[in-house]
């Protein structure tokens, strides 16, 4: 039996996912594939991309791409279209986080986050949108963070880079809407990924994140649990699907209500 998402426009469409080998990227890859899309995994580690494609199965493909190497982006996007066909969907998942107080954040850490989180998302979106433009259809979703709209202790540079990614995506949506290309944002909160667990130092940290912290002005999570990568993937699929045909420039929070309590 075909799923509702398969009937919503993914069957045989080509989708690119950056940061595909991370927790959220893998969930997005698998969900798009399960919905009938032909999926291309893009990440720095070409071997890991190839392994993920083998794990997912027929219709999944891996391509090595370091988003910091701007000159490599267009050739890889061209290769995907030659190998798989016209790109219908792009999901910008790739992201890095260096957590530190603002006054202790050095220029290298700032540059690292902006290079991937903002500049990388812009360059890939530009490359893909240029190819979508003459076809007058396509969908782009950027996975940002609820930190883009809510101040966070120790995350000034990360939050700024994600805020930039949000506005890049929404501005693209404004420019490209009349050409049939929709651009939206998913803003996760604390989600069970390697990036989050790297911040934890104690078994009680997960409970502390859910409860929130008055000392650091961090709200808790009203739904009472850490998000799962699949929660984010579900929102991405909706925004790319024909069910969201009249949705563009939206920012969808997938954070258990955390950002709504500030």
Active site residues: 158
Determine the pLDDT at residue 212: 62
Span 89-98, pLDDT tens digits: 999 999 999 9
Closest by CA position to 19, among listed 121, 127, 146: 121
* Angle formed by the axes of helices 70-84 and 121-132, nearest 10°: 40
Arithmetic mean of pLDDT, 73-84: 98
pLDDT band of residue 261 (cuts 50, 70, 90) is low
* Angle formed by the axes of helices 46-56 and 23-34, nearest 10°: 40
Predicted confidence (pLDDT) at residue 1 exceeds the cutoff of 80:
no
Determine the pLDDT at residue 199: 63
For the chain, list the domains and their CATH numbers: 6-190+232-251 (3.40.50.720)
Span 6-65, pLDDT tens digits: 446 798 899 999 999 999 999 999 999 999 999 999 999 999 999 999 999 999 999 999
Predicted confidence (pLDDT) at residue 221 exceeds the cutoff of 90:
no
How many whole angstroms separate alpha carbon 116 and alpha carbon 120? 5
């Amino acid at each position: 039996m075909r799923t509702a998402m398969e009937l919503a426009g993914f069957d045989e469409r080509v989708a690119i996912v950056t940061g595909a080998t991370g927790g959220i990227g893998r969930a997005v890859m698998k969900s798009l594939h399960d919905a009938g899309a032909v999926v291309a995994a893009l990440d720095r580690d070409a071997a890991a991309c190839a392994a993920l494609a083998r794990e997912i199965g027929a219709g999944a493909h891996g391509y090595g791409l370091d988003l910091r190497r701007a000159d490599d982006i267009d050739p890889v996007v061209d290769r995907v279209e030659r190998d798989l066909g016209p790109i219908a969907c792009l999901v910008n998942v790739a992201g890095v986080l260096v957590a530190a107080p603002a006054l202790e954040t050095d220029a290298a850490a700032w540059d690292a986050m902006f290079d991937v989180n903002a500049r990388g998302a812009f360059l890939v979106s530009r490359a893909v949108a240029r190819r979508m433009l003459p076809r007058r259809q396509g969908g782009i979703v950027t996975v940002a963070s609820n930190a883009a709209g809510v101040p966070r202790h120790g995350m000034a540079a990360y939050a700024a880079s994600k805020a930039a990614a949000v506005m890049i995506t929404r501005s693209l949506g404004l420019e490209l809407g009349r050409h049939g290309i929709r651009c939206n944002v998913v803003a996760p909160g604390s989600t069970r990924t390697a990036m989050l667990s790297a911040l934890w130092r104690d078994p009680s940290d997960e409970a502390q994140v859910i409860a929130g912290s008055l000392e650091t002005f961090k709200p808790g999570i009203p739904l009472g649990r850490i998000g799962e990568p699949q929660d984010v993937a579900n929102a991405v699929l909706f925004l790319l699907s024909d069910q969201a045909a009249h949705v563009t420039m939206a920012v969808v929070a997938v954070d258990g209500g955390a950002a709504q309590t500030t």
